[in-house]
Chains A and B, each alone.
Chain A
Amino acid sequence: EPEVTQTPSHQVTQMGQEVILRCVPISNHLYFYWYRQILGQKVEFLVSFYNNEISEKSEIFDDQFSVERPDGSNFTLKIRSTKLEDSAMYFCASSEIGANYGYTFGSGTRLTVV
């Protein structure tokens, strides 16, 4: 079964550093998403991406965040200057337009800011 792949599975970074979280969506999916889950809390939407541009973003997705699809397969989330409160599990997801609609999550990257 097709999967959404995320790397790394766990990243520790110092406050103020930049981090890039990587995702490889399912190949025939055209919509891409990032979600965040702070420990013990619910899953929150960050941003959606379609046709090489952001289609929707939440209040959480401020100027410290950016997304990019640098090539035909990767989809990245960059946090420019990490804060302690950015510590969370970050999930990538992708979905397709077609009739056989699927919405698949990756296994997540646990980001720890120290």
Chain B
Amino acid sequence: AQSVTQPDIHITVSEGASLELRCNYSYGATPYLFWYVQSPGQGLQLLLKYFSGDTLVQGIKGFEAEFKRSQSSFNLRKPSVHWSDAAEYFCAVGARNTPLVFGKGTRLSVIA
């Protein structure tokens, strides 16, 4: 069965520090992978996506993610976190024109 695991429910980082949010997936076919960000009470904004090709993908707001097939992972990274990055982050997996399966999310807090 398809599933996405985000092992960290809540992460706190200092402003300016680096960030890595973990995502592991289980999917029968070649997956399409996504990271979305959600600010409180808001919708889902796409940060980046991976379909094929270069396994390191760049997204908006300075985020990047690396697809590692051998580890079934798609971790999200940012070299220097800003206070405005505080939000909930969701990893999702799917295939072309199929429903996405979401992880439970990781809440990011940023402290001064």
Contacts and interface: CB of A to CB of B under 8 A. Distances in A.
Interface of A: 30-31, 33, 35, 41-45, 48, 50, 56, 58, 91, 93, 95-97, 101, 103-108, 110
Contacts of B97: 30-31, 50, 95-97
Contact of B100 (A30, A45, A96, A101): A45
A103 B34 contact: yes
- Closest 6 CB pairs between A and B? A107-B43, A45-B99, A43-B102, A105-B44, A42-B104, A31-B97
Chain A binding surface SS class: strand
A101 B100 CA distance: 14
Contacts of B34: 103
Contacts of A108: 42-44
Interface of B: 32, 34, 36, 41-44, 46, 49, 51, 90, 92, 94, 96-105
A42 B96 contact: no
A104 B46 contact: yes
A105 B46 CA distance: 8
7 contacts: A30-B97, A43-B44, A45-B101, A58-B99, A91-B44, A96-B97, A97-B97
Contacts of A31: 97
Contacts of B98: 48, 56
Contacts of A30: 97
A106 B90 CA distance: 15
Given A42-B105, A44-B102, 18 more contacts: A42-B103, A42-B104, A43-B44, A43-B100, A43-B102, A48-B99, A50-B97, A58-B99, A91-B44, A96-B97, A97-B96, A97-B97, A105-B36, A106-B43, A107-B42, A107-B43, A108-B42, A110-B41
A42 B102 contact: yes
A105 B43 CA distance: 7
B102 A103 contact: no
